[in-house]
Amino acid sequence: MCAKRLDPDAIDIDFLKQEFNRFRTELGGMKDRLSDNAASALDQFSAYLEGGALSSRLASLEKEFDYLAGKVKGTGKEAVGKLENQVSQRPIASIAIAFGVGILASQLLRRG
């Protein structure tokens, strides 16, 4: 590609100055709008944090977590109780099942 040479006599310096000033003004306006939007976003975020919405949500999540942890703990105790009951009712079958599971686990671990 051939680069076009500009004729210095054909360049309108006043037009370029005008365009440059318009460009500068538009950039200044954009800067002000961006600054205002950022300040507004920070204000909203600060209001959200200070408004207690976050702390109340965290408190409700903590309560839900405590409830679920208690439920899992209770379910685990219940499962252990059932297992103990089954083992005490059928001790020979329980030993045979445990032996079979042990052999299966050893075979799986030996392959890996």
- Which tens digits make up the pLDDT trace of 19-62? 888 888 888 888 888 888 888 888 888 877 776 667 778 888 99
Gap between the Cα atoms of 109 and 112, Å rounded: 5
The structure's pTM equals: 0.38
What does the mean pLDDT of the chain come to?
Answer: 83
CA 48, 50, 54, 60 torsion: positive or negative?
A: negative
